Amino acid sequence: MTSLGLKSLWARKVRAALTSFAVFLGVAFVAGSFVLTDTIFAAFDEIFSESLKGTSVVITADNPVEQESGEIPTISASLLPRVVRTPGVREAAGAIFTPGAFFDAENEKIGNKFQPKFISSTLPGKLESMTYVEGHPPRGPTEASLDKAAADSADLKPGDKIKL
């Protein structure tokens, strides 16, 4: 039986080679997609680790159901005084973090087209993780800050007008 199978493979060398090559390509693409997704997850882990450096605890809403819209569940602002009163808490602040984008004067999105866009509030004092290379942190509802790469790509300087 084995010799019959080997004779059949030998008689159809090209078919056997192409089938083997197809299996090899399939395995390579699956392995490549795993490597790519692991690399993306590692990059986001690094981004969030860096942005939360020095933070002991982050409180988020319980999200038992995955939301397809990408909306982030909220927490009531009334929870903040309770957190501040918790023994061992030195500093606490509420923050806004939501999907969104900034637009320049020509209504073009600012920043890399392939990166996710988020808008967040600034945090007080030591809780703020941003390092400002030009200008200052936003001081009111009519001011905003951008990362350097996004500002450079849109040729923006401190004081330029942008839209939310």
Q: Where is pLDDT greater, at 87 or 126?
A: 87
Instruction: Could you list the beta-strand ranges (E) of 25-102.
Output: 97-99
Residue 159 included in any domain: no
Residue 93 included in any domain: no
Q: Are 120 and 100 in contact (CB under 8 A)?
A: no
- Check pLDDT > 90 for residue 111: no
Could you report the per-residue pLDDT of 17-73, keeping only the tens digit for each? Answer: 999 999 999 999 999 999 999 999 999 888 878 877 777 777 777 765 565 665 667
Q: Which domain holds residue 25?
A: 2-51
pTM of the model: 0.54
Residue 27 included in any domain: yes
Contacts of 144 (CB under 8 A, 6+ apart): 102, 138, 162, 164
b/e 121-152 (16+ beta carbons within 10 angstroms → b): ebbeeeeeeeeeeeeeeeeeeeeebbeeebbe
Residue 152 included in any domain: no
Could you report the per-residue pLDDT of 74-103, keeping only the tens digit for each? Answer: 788 888 899 889 998 888 888 888 888 888
Give mean pLDDT, residues 123-129. 79
Give mean pLDDT, residues 131-148. 86
Residue 82 included in any domain: no
Residue 26 included in any domain: yes
Residue 7 included in any domain: yes
Domain count, the chain: 1
**Confidence tier at 130 by pLDDT (50, 70, 90):** confident
CA 6 to the chain's CA centroid:
52
Residue 102 included in any domain: no
pLDDT (0 to 100) of residue 123: 82
Q: Are 61 and 75 in contact (CB under 8 A)?
A: yes
pLDDT (0 to 100) of residue 107: 86
